Amino acid sequence: MTNAKISPFVAIARSIGAEVAGVHATAVDRDARFPSESIKALKEHRMLSAYVPKSLGGGGATLGELVLACEALSQHCTSTAMIFAMHQIQVISILRHASDSPWFLEYIRDLVANQNLIASVTSEVGVGGEMRSSVCGLQWEGQSFKLIKHATTISYGAQADDLLVTSRCTPDGPASDQVLSLVRKADYTLEQQGVWDTMGMRGTCSPPFKLTATGKKDQVISTPFAAIASETMVPVSHLLWAGCWLGIAGAAVNKARAFVRMQGRARPGSIPPTALRLAEVASELHMLRASVDSVLREYEYLIAAEGGSADELSSMPYALKINNLKVAGSRKLPEIVSQALLICGIMGYKNDSKFSMSRHLRDAHSGALMVGNDRILATNSSMLLVLKDE
């Protein structure tokens, strides 16, 4: 890290990563259990309100700091990092699109005080990963609503304090005319519909659930979900996920580096053949980091700019870029981990070795299907029919 001054948020993430998340990562992965120790530590360090502005009692972190915090956690336990990332995505969506609402301002104060963990309920039976379409709709009775949603995947659904849910505005409205509502633990029930026994990301505990919730009109963000998605949820998700991915890639490459150094020390004077592959994979990791950095810088510039930024963020050229980050990054990641595995050879293949790549490789494969890459490429290919210039 070349930062002259390390952000306090990144420093906390590093120490929680090394001292808590890393200690339990093997058990979390083996038992597909919630990383309760590390989430507790994140709450104790008030990291769940890290992005909330200081004026509202939060930490005032930047998105860039959160990306680095995700990376730091992910080096030790990617499930912890992804839970942290998904929670921040919900907080940022609320702050950017509902902070003019008294109800949501009150909610944010409550979140700062109690470190509420928010889960995301976008995926739904019948639409899969198409976030911009809902089957369920809010059933209104005066100022109150009821909502039933068959969710395919809710990470830490059982452990969350509150949920941010997409739905149609009304049950018979158009599928693409959606809103985002925050429902509180006392007002919903989740019936688990299956198990979460997956290849990787096992600690995210993300089974299907049937959600039944009630709420008041104030709990529905007034900005259409279309705008929240294009201006905030999609770019922020892709950037924070990319932070988690950098952590996986970094952890894998660090193991490969340690392995090659060990070989080098065994026979000083000759460069081990694996060093060539290491040089290659290190350059791939640099490319991945550079692409995350450039998209992050542009996003921070756009949200800092007054006026036309929302326009820019909801434009096709920007959507194409932010989608490319997701597709290219999630494709590159398992390649990098696989390369690192080949460098370590059998020592990387063994589960009981300090060079083991098993969890990294299994976790790495989730990137391409957390919203299927082909689904995203299909969107891009449709946009490329009208987009003109690079």
Partner 1 sequence: MIDGQIRQILKEHARLAIDLAALDDAADLYQAGMTSHASVNVMLALEGNFDVEFPDRMLKRKVFESVDSIRQALSELMAN
Ligand X SMILES: Cc1cc2nc3c(=O)[nH]c(=O)nc-3n(C[C@H](O)[C@H](O)[C@H](O)COP(=O)(O)OP(=O)(O)OC[C@H]3O[C@@H](n4cnc5c(N)ncnc54)[C@H](O)[C@@H]3O)c2cc1C
Tokens matching residue 30: 């083996």
Quick check: 369 binds ligand X (CB under 6 A)?
yes
Query: Which of partner 1, ligand X, none is residue 60 near (CB under 5 to 8 Å by kind)?
Result: none
- Determine which residue in the list 170, 254, 314, 324 makes contact with partner 1, applying CB under 8 A: 314
Residue with tokens 């689904």: 375
- Determine which residue in the list 273, 317, 354, 374 makes contact with partner 1, applying CB under 8 A: 317
Residue with tokens 């026994």: 197
Pairing status of strand 139-141 against strand 118-121: unpaired
Q: Which stretch binds partner 1 (CB under 8 A): 39-47, 112-120, 206-214, 310-318?
A: 310-318
Quick check: 224 binds partner 1 (CB under 8 A)?
yes
Order across the sheet with 188-192: list the strands: 139-141, 144-151, 209-216, 188-192
* Nearest CB to partner 1, comparing residues 275 and 302: 302
DSSP, collapsed to helix, strand or coil, labels residue 94 as helix
Order across the sheet with 118-121: list the strands: 118-121, 162-168, 178-184
Residues 102-161 contacting ligand X, CB under 6 A: 119-123, 128-129, 153-155
**How many residues in the chain?**
390
Quick check: 15 binds partner 1 (CB under 8 A)?
no
Distance CA 225, CA 210 (A): 21
Q: Would you give the binding string for ligand X spanning residues 326-365, x where CB under 6 A is met?
A: ----------------------------------------
C-alpha distance from residue 4 to each of 7, 68, 294, 367 (Å) = 10, 14, 20, 31
- Determine which residue in the list 112, 135, 227, 328 makes contact with partner 1, applying CB under 8 A: 227
- Determine which residue in the list 45, 109, 132, 257 makes contact with partner 1, applying CB under 8 A: 132
Residues 351-390 contacting partner 1, CB under 8 A: 379, 382-383, 385-389
H/E stretch holding 191: strand 188-192
Quick check: 158 binds partner 1 (CB under 8 A)?
no
Torsional sign, CA 355, 357, 363, 369: positive
**283: closest CA among 275, 271, 295?**
275
Neighbours of 198 (CB within 10 A): 16
Query: Which of partner 1, ligand X, none is residue 204 near (CB under 5 to 8 Å by kind)?
Result: ligand X
- Determine which residue in the list 93, 116, 178, 206 makes contact with ligand X, applying CB under 6 A: 206
Q: Which residues make up the interface to partner 1 (CB under 8 A)?
A: 132-133, 173-177, 224, 226-227, 230, 311-312, 314-317, 379, 382-383, 385-389
